[in-house]
Amino acid sequence: MKLAVCLCLQFAICNALESREGKKILWAVMVHGGAHMIVARTISKVLKAKGHNVTFLAYDSDKVNTTNLQSYMRVRGQNDDGSLLLADETGKFIYPYAAIWSESKLDIYNSLLLFLQTPEFMCRAVLDDPNVIERISREKFDLAIVDYTSNGCIYALMHRLNIPYVSVILSKGFDQTVFPQNPATVGVLLSRLSEPSNVFERAFNLAAFIVSRLGTALYNWMSSIHIWRRIPDSPSMAQLVENSEHTFILHDYFVDETKQFPDDSSLVGCYMCRPPKPLETDLQTFMDEAKSVVIISFGYSYTKPGIFPDRLWNGIMGMARKFSDQGVKVLMSFPGQPAELPGNMRVEPWLSMMDVLGHPKTRVFISQCGGGSVMESLYNGVPVVGIPLFGDHFEMCALLRRRGLGHTLNKMNVDANILTETITDIFNDREMEKRLKNVSSLMHDISPFSLQNIVDQIDHISHHNSVTDGLRLHTARYNSWEVYMLDQLLFFVFFWCVSKIGLGICHQKMNA
């Protein structure tokens, strides 16, 4: 009897879950690199399988691949001269390419000033376009997924239209602009540290933390100004982000420091990781015939023809030649095609990284240390030779080096000899191989749940949120002075001083 009741209850619950109505979801990508759109496509595909209808909000471009997109809402934000706002003809965010490969660190920091311009441009592209506002309002979306990067005006529009929203943070370090961490133990974005280990590193990291907080405050203030000019009664930029129903941080704790996050946020893990699929026949043969394969990819945004430095090209091809008589092959993702390549080297305009990294002959991955690439590499047990270029790449490479999962090279002095020596060291490092096998085994057990977890939470929030339920569970978010009870310490110091002064006055009067 009990078994029958349990089966009936299980059947009823399953039926209820399956019959839940699919929701209309808006995914705001806007300013993005290739990784941002790949993430959106991957998660949206699973949301679609659960019956939801996902619409992408992105820059208008006839070169944007709309295959498999259920709906694509185009934003044609333009400058006065007709050019796109901070986007190229493909709709991708315009990176400061010259600064990325520059020998001057100052150029990299100056390039960050570009981000201070994005609030104005984004507000002009979205909030100043009545057609965009009218269409979003007409569609009556149940939930919005907002890519946190430079999308403050999207948050404001969702708030104005009373559409509940969740945030997605891709880059390691950018989560600290929303959830500040303890600078004594967590490397700050652009500090080029992972886990500060001595007094000098902690002092430098503290200075970087102060600069980071001031920079975040300035960015939020500028965003708020542009928002208030168009929506006077809107909350501030910081409050808009805090009002997210949930924040998804698309990182794995294997490639991050120990951090503290509030309950309404999730560290998702390797959402892209999966078992490798067979490669195309000729590429499969190329890798099968090798003794070992070195994979090279710096991401689409950093390898445009004419931007990639010749010195690095020469170093890579020189390294390939040095390994040619050892059965080692080199496979590189690059949109252009050099005039002449070594016989053991192959260049492809695009590679499915999970499939080539998962090939049993792959031994080393040379990368800029982007978060997604690193997670995919560790998932497959492949060590990383990091050549950091921009943003959080430096902290990611530092973390891998500190944990014995890879090596880091300076982009300014990479040549054939340095690459060859580094790769040879990795080939012979059995301790690193053991560590990577352990990490890979753990990630294989955890990663299948990462993508499903984020989809299940989005599915739940689309049905139950502060707009539909009328309930907002504000998570307690404390400032650093509250976390370390500095307010209490200040109170006791004040009380002690007042007591000492009072006792001193009483003592003087008694002696008088």
Name 379's Cβ contacts closer than 8 Å, sequence gap at least 6: 270, 273, 354, 357, 440, 443, 444, 447
Give the Cα separation of 142 and 23 in Å (integer): 6
Report the CATH number of the 281-444 domain: 3.40.50.2000
How many helices (H) and strands (E) in the chain?
20, 13
Strand bridging mode 345-348 / 362-367: unpaired
What's residue 14's pLDDT? 47
Write out the residue limits of the CATH 3.40.50.2000 domain(s) in the chain: 281-444
Q: Give the helix/strand (H/E) hosting 396.
A: helix 393-402
What's residue 31's pLDDT? 59
Q: What is the DSSP string of 433-444?
A: HHHHHHHHHHHH
Give the Cα separation of 40 and 28 in Å (integer): 9
Is the four-CA dihedral 76, 79, 84, 85 of positive or negative sign? negative
In DSSP terms, 56 is beta-bridged to 27, 72
Name 91's Cβ contacts closer than 8 Å, sequence gap at least 6: 58, 59, 60, 61, 63, 64, 84
If the chain, 512 residues long, is cut into consecutive pieces of 10 residues, what is the mean pLDDT of each piece? 47 47 87 72 88 85 53 68 58 63 65 73 85 92 90 92 93 83 85 83 90 90 94 94 91 79 84 89 95 91 75 93 95 83 92 95 95 92 93 88 93 93 96 95 81 88 77 59 78 88 81 70
How big is the CA angle at 164 (ends 158 and 166), to the nearest 5 degrees? 95
The end-to-end CA distance of the chain, in Å, is 91
Give the Cα separation of 362 and 347 in Å (integer): 15
Give the Cα separation of 173 and 451 in Å (integer): 21
* Amino acid residing at 407: H
Look at the chain and count its residues. Answer: 512
Name 254's Cβ contacts closer than 8 Å, sequence gap at least 6: 375, 378, 439, 442, 443
Name 187's Cβ contacts closer than 8 Å, sequence gap at least 6: 193, 194, 195, 196, 205, 257, 395, 398, 399
Question: Buried b vs exposed e over 219-249: b needs ≥16 C-beta within 10 Å?
Answer: bbebbbebbeebbeebbbbbebbbbbbbbbb
Give the Cα separation of 229 and 223 in Å (integer): 10
Give the Cα separation of 167 and 229 in Å (integer): 24
Architecture of the 22-267 domain: 3-Layer(aba) Sandwich (3.40)
Give the Cα separation of 302 and 308 in Å (integer): 7
